[in-house]
Structure 1
Amino acid sequence: MKRSRRRIRTAVLSVGALIAAAGLPAGAAHADATTPRVDLRVLVVADGGPAVQAITAELDSAGTPYTQVDLTRPDRPVIDAAFLADTVGGRPRARFQAVVLPNDNPFAAGSAEMAALAAYEQRYDIPQVDAYTYARPQVGLQYFVAGGYAGSVDGAQAAVTAAGRSGPFGYLEGSVPFEDNSPTVGESYAYLAQPAPGADFTTYVDAPIPGTARRGSLVGEYKHDGRRELVVTFVYNRYQQQYRLLARGIVEWMTGGVHLGASRNYFSVHVDDVFAADDRWDTRLNCTPGDVDCADGGGGTPNPIRMTADDAEYAKNWQAGRNFTLDMVYNGAGSLDQREDNNGVDLLADRLQADRDRFRWINHTYTHAFLGCEQDVSVVPWRCATNPDGSTKWVSRTTIDNEIVLNRLWGQSFGLPLQNDELVTGEHSGMAVLPQQPQDNPNLAASLTGDGIKWVASDNSRDPEQRQVGSASTVARYPMNVYYNVGKAAEAADEYNWIYTSRAQGGSGICEDHSDTTTCLPAPLDTTTGYAQKIVPAETRTALGHVLANDPKPHFIHQSNLAEERLAYPVLNGVIDGYDALFAADTPLVNERMKDIGTELKRRGAWKNAVQAGQVTAYRIGTAVTVVAPAGLDVTATLPSGTRLGAAAFGSPYAGRVSGWTSSTGTPLELALPSSAPAAPSAVAAPRPAPATAPAPAADVPPAVREGAKGTDRR
């Protein structure tokens, strides 16, 4: 029976207050001077290939420090004994806790650098990741020609083995499906083979070997000559789902579950325009009457789309069934308009008011007014109106203040449980929008500051990086291709056809004008089946990709998508069902509200800057981990369950580890690992005799290994 899942709404526990007193004793006594210090930093040896790029992207996303040596640069440092290790305060120091190589040996025959790496790994018990190599005895596997397989694994159903589930991939439910997004593009190539006779090889992820009843390794651990290698025999890029599923486990394996940085899987959904009505797409005009860029826009909005009380009841019950909370982004004037037109009756508002505590609520301004420049809609597309001197005519601060404050007051009078420092402006207006308005409305920052706004939404498609606008930090949101102006599947497919087909096929031609558009259609969709068969799977795959990328940014849809044919639910169910099928119960979706997402993004930005500036040092000696960081910086780490910071437990549980943020006072943070933590070297191992030559290089790598993954590059 499937295990139940609980959604997390608070991602981490801050324990900074517990170490405010600088004199707290260390959580564990440091061992004697023969116990080596191992710095919490990864050495990445890169060759420009997609596999190493994918691993560095994972380290970047989590905030895990690494040093990269680019083999293609003539000015790169030489990897020798002095580069890898030294002595600090009389104690031996391993400068890297793990090594990532493009393959098991990317150097020339007889390389002194590979010999130095092998000796370093032996001496300090440092693991090595072979980002992508091919099956042969040098990596603990049989040659793939001996009953194995080499070729496409598009659509393969790989799985985590029992050893993988009890080891570094225990956060997964078991299945690791390989993508097959295009019948004409080879997306994944792999070598499948069984362990070589006598090899100490443990398979963590495997797949069926075609034409046989056997399974071959895709990811496994090879122990030999006092070294440990994680052998990966399939090619991938950073965006492919199969890699995203395994990325966490690769990092946990190489670090022993002790590293700076953290990663969780986030999914939050904002529903814009609640209480308002949304204009409807016109399948004849190929635009939306009522919209400023529709040639017939001056004629009003026929048959607008608005949720009903039944739709609100459905949303409440859907949430309860999915253990998920929607963020209702509301415009109070929409309810006032409805009551004025219906003898004071608004059944939708009454239903939502009765269930207001079941949802989260965000101020979306009172009337959804455009808060940038004043729009001149006498032309299509619109342009910014200008003053007699040619300067831009901006919406005034008074207008912006009224939109924010009136909606806040309306929500408070309605009893909505608001966070007054959150705001989503209509169409993300007030901030720059190209090409018409290349800068923010200068009145916006003053209004946000004066009205106490700390978090303001931006559109990730045009303003993805967090930045300050007055007192507010932006929180970028992902738009879903479930359009605001459709209530029926046929309308959605028709609009999709218009946008993504050629002019000769009756479309807008955007794909002809912009070759980087990735959703172009070779032919129009059938409007009766296109939404379910094409749009839903595409949007589900895109959103799930964000979820698996340690990306907390919310997605946004519109109230119209919860109305009529309720088009949003197939996508939302697809994401949640897809996720639950892949992940174990201890790795739930993190469903946060806007201000918590903004705080997470802000912490990450400060942490990234500090790490890149070399302001953070961390190391392990035995069971003690020490982190030194600037005062006031929030420090993030992932550690074994049971780790303590002073007298208290560190972090909160996720994916079989604990992770969290804690504020640095400028003095060393001392964390005590539990006795069950993977062992660190207790003393420097005696050097092994150097081999006559370095380990054999992977110089004969077949072309398929060198070419890399061709899977969809989804950003």
Structure 2
Amino acid sequence: MGRATRRVAACAAAVLLASGLQITLAHGDTTPPRIDLTILVIDDGGPSVAAITAELKSQGTPYKVVTLNDPNRPVIDAAFLSDTVNGLPRGKYQGIVLPNENPFSNAAEMTAIATYEAAFNVRQIDAYTWASPAVGLNYAANPGFTGTLDGFQAATTAAGTSGPFGYLKGSVPFEDNDPKVPESYGYLATPLANLPSGASFVPLVDAAIPNTTSRGSLVGEYTHDGRKELVVTFVYNQYQQQYRLLARGMVDWITQGVHLGYDRNYFATHIDDVFLADDRWSTTLKCTPGDVTCPPGTPDTGTPIRMTQADAQYAKQWETTNNFTLDMLFNGNGSEDWKADHQATVDPTASQMIADQSSYRWVNHTYSHPYLGCVQDVSVVPWKCTKDASGNTVWVDQNTISTQIKQNFDWAATNGLKVDPQVLVTGEHSGLLTAPQETSDNPNLAPALAANGIRFTGSDASREPAQRAVGSSTLTVPRYPMNVFYNAGTAQEEADEYNWIYTSKANGGSGVCENNPSSTCLPQPLDTTTGYQSYIVPLEARIDLGHVLNNDPRPHFIHQSNLSEDRIAYPVLEKILGTYRSLHADNTPIVNLGEREIGQEFQKRAAWNNALASGQVTAYRIGNTVTVSAPAGVQIQATMPTGTAQKMAIGTAAFGSAYAGTLSGWVSPGALQSSVTLQLPSSSAPAAPAAVAPNVAAKSVPAPAPTDKKVVPQGVATPVPAGPGDTTRKPAAKSLVPGSGTPVPGKDVAQGNGARAQGTPAGKAPGGTASHGSTTGRSGNR
């Protein structure tokens, strides 16, 4: 992970500051230097640096990576870090991320960095290091702690809450997803009491040191030798909740609140199949009659699941209570079928929801939810595409697709339902490629979408996590499937199907989990009476909350059946919202966007990231003025301090919107301008956190034996899955427990929970998802 600390840098930096570099900056007393808005990342291949890099990439913040083990990497020297532009000294980097306080074998490189940071007021993050006097801390002993931090309850300090972590309420819980596996590792230590004059160490995040009354730093600001380091003494990966809670603040700290890119916490929930009835899982047949997961000819033994008027009334009440808007994806034919089946002129459920329509957002889900890809041959399981006499795939025709879209819009207009005319989600995301049966889109889909003015159509994020074009006029909006199954109206049905999918054959399950590399098996079946609430709800909420905390706008989708009968969706949603709100301050609410807004966000991000990747963005700060240039038509993404304004050709305009204690958003040049100029408030340079008294006696603890130095946990790059259904964090074959050299079969150390971002949930017919299969009947799998 890193090398032993070298103590020559500070002294050497002082020498250089007294010589050439100081002369270069001598006139800086009146003219501040130019600082380019790019982060330098020195990468040792460890998960902590990778986590910070992932956050920079997610936010759209420019960064340059230098890989330590690359024999052809550039040497870090003064010329690499700074130069002169138009007679003005230029710092090429606004912040520097290091694996630890000094990862270089060549002392001159650390000297160059220390000199540069002091001269240009640039900050440094030590991504993961051990507690020692080299970073302003006592060794982690007497009092102190070294070891696994799973389940620890860390917290922001007063300085952390008033500083970079002011978007949190205070609690920073460390995950403990598997009691048998160490997931986190680190050091709890107290600040040195006898620091040199002008030096200070201010804990920003700390935790109680076991068996003492003291608290030890986990994240702290070390000020010394004219520069600042953010000292992090625990290892983490990009998925772990404790890191996700702190990631935003770490970027804000290193950039001093001025950087390109931004981070929001998004959560949207799509309710598919509204007005339809969904097929029901059979707890005896272990399949879904009416769906292709059952053998051909299986009788329809179950009653379909459909929301009632009371369920509709409850949905509106729930939204009000929880201050959250649901997206209703409707199929008008479902209402007409219900009326025909019941010989009624009015559908009470549809009437109630249309009367309450302003409580929701409405999305076209096609009129009767047919499969719009290839013409399916459902005489076999899994289904296959019908072929013509020449062996070519037979596709659903363009007229059928277009009619399904238009009929649903027409039904909405007839019934007074206001719908966004530019968004769509086809049944089962059909028409888009569905491997293994369909390796391309239905060629008739794109022209049908264009003909109906559809700009954004939903896709399955477990198959296609990124936005892409469908034809020339439509973009996808990837959606996360939740493991709350479409064919379950009760908690018992959900738990029974969950057992079938995620239990080994030896334990009575299907055994699918044993053969799927992206899945894990339950150690034993869940109790079908209690398992949903005790196991599935917290697990699914933890996975989905990982998406929320990852600057990820992708919506999640469940089904109207989950708002019916036992109303099993609500406990998961309440767990996500409740946990989020217990951790975040009121200035950082969940951002709840509609499908069009999500699609536009991804569209703008793609243009911005392409401009960054091609080197077409120039951004720098001189004093309190930030200037950014990008290609014409590309909006600029930025985070700035409160009080920032955009300078126009004449006067100023507001910039961004308030979020997490800063202003952030997209911005474009004004009329007659080719670049964006942002004027920071005069107080934009952040004040150093107030020094706090150490919480132990004023003495340093002797250094530990060399064998205790900077333990490097092994195998931290691959996260431990949160549980069944978490298909991103796959289990590894074995790893080493920190300091023990003991293999742990099937798990990796320091892996932690993260967001399920890719991969198809296990336990379904090939080509489907855990929430969608296919059907030929009107009340089939939606």
Describe the superposition over 1:454-489 as per-residue Cα deviations: whole angstroms up to 9, x where unpaired. 000000000111111122100000000000000111
1:91 counterpart letter in structure 2: L
Contact 2:289-2:302 within 8 A present in 1 as well: yes
Secondary structure of the corresponding residue to residue 299 of structure 1: coil
CA distance in 1: counterparts of 2:390 and 2:713, whole angstroms: 63
Contact 2:617-2:631 within 8 A present in 1 as well: yes
1:113 to 85, 88, 109: 109
Secondary structure of the corresponding residue to residue 99 of structure 1: strand
**Matching residue of 2:436:** 435
TM-score for both structures, normalised by structure 1: 0.91
Matched, 1:703 2:703: no
**Matching residue of 2:40:** 43
1:701, CA displacement in angstroms? 2.3
Relative contact order: is structure 1 or structure 2 higher (C-alpha 8 Å, sep ≥ 6)? Answer: 1
**Matching residue of 2:633:** 632
CA distance in 2: counterparts of 1:317 and 1:283, whole angstroms: 32
1:608, CA displacement in angstroms? 0.7
**Matching residue of 1:380:** 381
**Matching residue of 1:198:** 194
Secondary structure of the corresponding residue to residue 444 of structure 2: helix
Secondary structure of the corresponding residue to residue 194 of structure 2: coil
In 2 relative to 1, CA 325–582 (structure 1 residues): closer, same or farther, beyond 3 Å? same
Matched, 1:174 2:170: yes
Matched, 1:162 2:158: yes
**Matching residue of 1:228:** 228
Moved more, 570-579 or 338-347: 338-347
CA distance in 2: counterparts of 1:253 and 1:238, whole angstroms: 18
1:640, CA displacement in angstroms? 0.4
**Matching residue of 1:517:** 519
2:474 counterpart letter in structure 1: A
List gaps (5 residues or longer) in structure 1: 1-29, 681-696
TM-score for both structures, normalised by structure 2: 0.84
Superposed counterparts of 1:77-116, under 5 Å: 77-108=74-105, 111-116=107-112
CA distance in 1: counterparts of 2:424 and 2:682, whole angstroms: 47
1:149 to 145, 151, 166: 145
**Matching residue of 1:253:** 253
Describe the superposition over 1:276-319 as per-residue Cα deviations: whole angstroms up to 9, x where unpaired. 00000011111100002311565346300000000000000110
**Matching residue of 1:20:** none
**Matching residue of 2:269:** 269
Describe the superposition over 1:547-570 as per-residue Cα deviations: whole angstroms up to 9, x where unpaired. 000000000000000000000000
In 2 relative to 1, CA 502–707 (structure 1 residues): closer, same or farther, beyond 3 Å? closer
Secondary structure of the corresponding residue to residue 54 of structure 1: helix
In 2 relative to 1, CA 350–679 (structure 1 residues): closer, same or farther, beyond 3 Å? closer
Matched, 1:496 2:501: no
Secondary structure of the corresponding residue to residue 49 of structure 2: helix
CA distance in 2: counterparts of 1:480 and 1:179, whole angstroms: 21
Moved more, 297-306 or 112-121: 297-306
Contact 1:106-1:699 within 8 A present in 2 as well: no
CA distance in 1: counterparts of 2:465 and 2:609, whole angstroms: 16
Contact 1:163-1:203 within 8 A present in 2 as well: yes
Describe the superposition over 1:653-683 as per-residue Cα deviations: whole angstroms up to 9, x where unpaired. 0000001112247712111001121169xxx
**Matching residue of 2:339:** 339
In 2 relative to 1, CA 105–95 (structure 1 residues): closer, same or farther, beyond 3 Å? same
In 2 relative to 1, CA 658–611 (structure 1 residues): closer, same or farther, beyond 3 Å? same
1:516, CA displacement in angstroms? 2.6
CA distance in 1: counterparts of 2:298 and 2:404, whole angstroms: 23
**Matching residue of 2:677:** 670
In 2 relative to 1, CA 705–133 (structure 1 residues): closer, same or farther, beyond 3 Å? farther
**Matching residue of 1:552:** 553
CA distance in 1: counterparts of 2:431 and 2:614, whole angstroms: 33
CA distance in 1: counterparts of 2:142 and 2:302, whole angstroms: 69
Secondary structure of the corresponding residue to residue 604 of structure 1: helix
Q: How many residues get paired?
A: 669
Contact 2:543-2:754 within 8 A present in 1 as well: no
1:307 counterpart letter in structure 2: M
**Matching residue of 1:13:** none
In 2 relative to 1, CA 353–341 (structure 1 residues): closer, same or farther, beyond 3 Å? same
Describe the superposition over 1:20-45 as per-residue Cα deviations: whole angstroms up to 9, x where unpaired. xxxxxxxxxx9998420000000000
In 2 relative to 1, CA 169–283 (structure 1 residues): closer, same or farther, beyond 3 Å? same
Identity of aligned residues (%): 59
Moved more, 658-667 or 303-312: 658-667
CA distance in 1: counterparts of 2:69 and 2:567, whole angstroms: 52
1:656 counterpart letter in structure 2: G
1:703 counterpart letter in structure 2: V
In 2 relative to 1, CA 232–306 (structure 1 residues): closer, same or farther, beyond 3 Å? same
1:710 counterpart letter in structure 2: Q
1:450, CA displacement in angstroms? 0.6
CA distance in 2: counterparts of 1:397 and 1:611, whole angstroms: 38
1:64 counterpart letter in structure 2: T
**Matching residue of 1:351:** 352
CA distance in 2: counterparts of 1:325 and 1:31, whole angstroms: 52
Secondary structure of the corresponding residue to residue 573 of structure 1: helix
CA distance in 2: counterparts of 1:119 and 1:704, whole angstroms: 31
RMSD: 1.9
1:648 to 637, 649, 653: 653
1:713, CA displacement in angstroms? 5.2
CA distance in 1: counterparts of 2:462 and 2:754, whole angstroms: 16
Secondary structure of the corresponding residue to residue 337 of structure 1: helix
**Matching residue of 2:207:** 207
**Matching residue of 2:416:** 415
CA distance in 2: counterparts of 1:551 and 1:301, whole angstroms: 40
Matched, 1:576 2:577: yes
In 2 relative to 1, CA 714–671 (structure 1 residues): closer, same or farther, beyond 3 Å? closer
**Matching residue of 2:663:** 658
CA distance in 2: counterparts of 1:605 and 1:631, whole angstroms: 14
CA distance in 1: counterparts of 2:489 and 2:143, whole angstroms: 54
1:81, CA displacement in angstroms? 0.3
CA distance in 1: counterparts of 2:30 and 2:154, whole angstroms: 46
CA distance in 2: counterparts of 1:301 and 1:560, whole angstroms: 17
CA distance in 1: counterparts of 2:468 and 2:96, whole angstroms: 34
CA distance in 2: counterparts of 1:133 and 1:625, whole angstroms: 33
In 2 relative to 1, CA 707–58 (structure 1 residues): closer, same or farther, beyond 3 Å? closer
Describe the superposition over 1:236-262 as per-residue Cα deviations: whole angstroms up to 9, x where unpaired. 000000000000010010001000001
Describe the superposition over 1:208-262 as per-residue Cα deviations: whole angstroms up to 9, x where unpaired. 0000011000000001111100000011000000000000010010001000001
CA distance in 2: counterparts of 1:134 and 1:698, whole angstroms: 13
Contact 2:96-2:124 within 8 A present in 1 as well: yes
Contact 1:33-1:91 within 8 A present in 2 as well: no
In 2 relative to 1, CA 129–301 (structure 1 residues): closer, same or farther, beyond 3 Å? same
**Matching residue of 2:735:** none
2:363 counterpart letter in structure 1: I
